[in-house]
Structure 1
Amino acid sequence: MVDDEQRFIARYVEEEALDLERTETGLWYKIEEQGEGALVTSGKVVTLDYKVWLLDGTLCYSSDELGHKVFLVGHGGVESGLEEGVLLLRKGSKATFIMPPHLAHGHIGDDDKIPYRAIIKYEVKVIDVKNKQ
């Protein structure tokens, strides 16, 4: 299944003429703009502006609707693909991530807007990176 999902994403990236790289775990990413602020590292609290889509273009969630996403990096609570992706960024960075199900919401979805086995696309901007208080 993972191989099929990676082939599907590769085809999508090619058809959409996206310039993305892939990590060993299967996360596809592009750093649109590298910020000049603090590096995101495990144990830091990161604040993101974000939008999450299905690959068919359906917008599922956004910080415009729900507020910033704030989480402690390396401690779960968000998609593992999002944690992996933000570790490539700094405060002020903008990036796009495409996550296969095993790095997103798995084979069951999120019981709301993301269906089972969904591949999702994140657009993020790192608003803040700070120490845990």
Structure 2
Amino acid sequence: MRFTAVIFLLILAASCKSPEARYPVSQNSGSYIDESVERNKEMIAQEEDYIKKVMGENVDTEYLSSADGFWYYYNEKSTDSTNTRTPDFGDVVVFDYSISSIEGKSIYAKGEKPTQEYTMDKEKLFTGLRQGLKLMKEGETVTFLFPSHKAFGYYGDKEKIGSNTPITARVTLHEIKEEPNQEINN
């Protein structure tokens, strides 16, 4: 009986061995990702060089560079000294826009896209337009030049804008409505 108990304890102890880590059969060095990053950097640099070339051909226009990696100019700038408010997180903005290629060929003409009501940073909107709206005041019209990674990126808009396409967007900001919670608290 003792012999059976000893064997049982040995089998029990052997079966309670802690699990060993499993290692991958093959390891990738990450070279594919590194190559992809390099390709994207080159593509962005080429797009930005092309945009700068187009801007250089337009000597009568005063282009401004944003800290977010795109360029813009004012078609209509507010001269009202009391109109200093730009949209904040949660504000609702009412705007319309048209989109064209960097060369000026219309993609979505004025009025083709309906007037938008957008809650700042709480709804989906392509990156460049979301960042551009934050620079605007009520009543202003601004033309933005976006590299593809600030526009619709690799996938395009699945309608008229293709993959990796830099665009120009002409935006008119009609109204900024304070976030509803802010109005109650004021």
- Number of equivalent positions: 133
Q: Deviations over 1:87-130 (max 9, x none)?
A: 11111111110111111100221110001111110111111110
Unmatched segments (≥5 aa) in structure 2: 1-42, 181-186
Q: 1:117 & 1:44 partners in 2: Cα distance?
A: 30
Q: TM-score, normalised by structure 2?
A: 0.65
Shift of 1:79: 1.2
Shift of 1:39: 2.3
Question: Which structure is higher in helix share?
Answer: 2
Does the 8 Å CA contact 1:106/1:116 hold for their aligned counterparts? yes
Shift of 1:63: 5.0
Shift of 1:62: 4.1
Overall identity of the aligned pairs, in %: 26
Shift of 1:77: 1.0
Cα RMSD of the aligned pairs, angstroms, is 1.7
Code of the aligned partner of 1:43:
G
Code of the aligned partner of 2:58:
E
Match of 2:105 in 1: 58
Unmatched segments (≥5 aa) in structure 1: none
Question: Which structure is higher in strand share?
Answer: 1
Partner of 1:51, secondary structure, is strand
Alpha carbons of structure 1 residues 31 and 70: separation in structure 2 relative to 1, 3 Å? same
Q: 2:94 & 2:153 partners in 1: Cα distance?
A: 24
Code of the aligned partner of 1:11:
K
Query: Which has the higher Rg, Structure 1 or Structure 2?
Result: 2
The answer to whether the aligner puts 1:22 opposite 2:69 as a matched pair is no
